[in-house]
């Protein structure tokens, strides 16, 4: 499964990055998350692990696999039969705005089954994250 969602935000990339990487506060701006807890450390960084609780999904630990401060991070969660990867890209505009592109990929033996039963839920959650981030970043 592959799903992408982009949203244009009227805020600086630095401001959006600050909100996006404060993972413990995600539940304040998206209903797709119940709780996010850093397993170790105090901030998102390469190798960080984040325990994520979402409605209707099992608790999962995601590991940051790519991290470019201010522009991009990717995290992944894997079992022997299913790998999920979520990327978060910030693309600054010339007018002081930023485009956020969220990408979700899933593959493995269980991917066809997961796609069949969870595709709409996953798409909805990615959309909620994009819209929630936009609303939080544009708030006065």
What predicted TM-score, i.e. pTM, was given to this entire model? 0.94
pLDDT of the chain along its 140 residues, tens only?
999 999 999 999 999 999 999 999 999 999 999 999 999 778 899 999 999 999 999 999 999 999 999 999 999 999 999 999 999 999 999 899 999 999 999 999 999 988 889 999 999 999 999 999 999 999 98
Look up the CATH architecture of domain 2-138: 2-Layer Sandwich (3.30)
Domain ranges of the chain: 2-138
Return the pLDDT at 108: 95
3-state secondary structure the chain: CEEEEEEEECCCHHHHHHHHHCHHHHHHHCCCCCEEEECCCCCCCCCCEEEEECCCCCCEEEEEEEEECCCEEEEEEEECCEEEEEEEEEEECCCCCEEEEEEEEEECCCHHHHHHHHHHHHHHHHHHHHHHHHHHHHCC
Return the pLDDT at 42: 82
């Amino acid at each position: 499964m592959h799903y992408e969602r982009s949203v244009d935000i009227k805020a600086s990339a630095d401001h959006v990055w600050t909100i996006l990487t404060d993972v413990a506060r995600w539940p304040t701006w998206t209903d797709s998350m119940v709780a996010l807890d850093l397993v170790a450390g105090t901030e998102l960084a390469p190798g960080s692990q984040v325990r994520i609780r979402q409605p209707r999904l099992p608790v999962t630990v995601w590991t940051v696999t790519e991290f470019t401060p201010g522009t991009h991070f990717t995290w992944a969660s894997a079992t022997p039969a299913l790998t999920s990867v979520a990327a978060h890209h910030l693309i600054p505009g010339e007018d002081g705005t930023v485009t956020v592109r969220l990408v979700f990929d899933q593959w493995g033996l269980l991917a066809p089954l997961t796609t069949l039963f969870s595709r709409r839920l996953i798409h909805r959650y990615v959309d909620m994250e994009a819209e929630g981030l936009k609303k939080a970043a544009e708030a006065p």
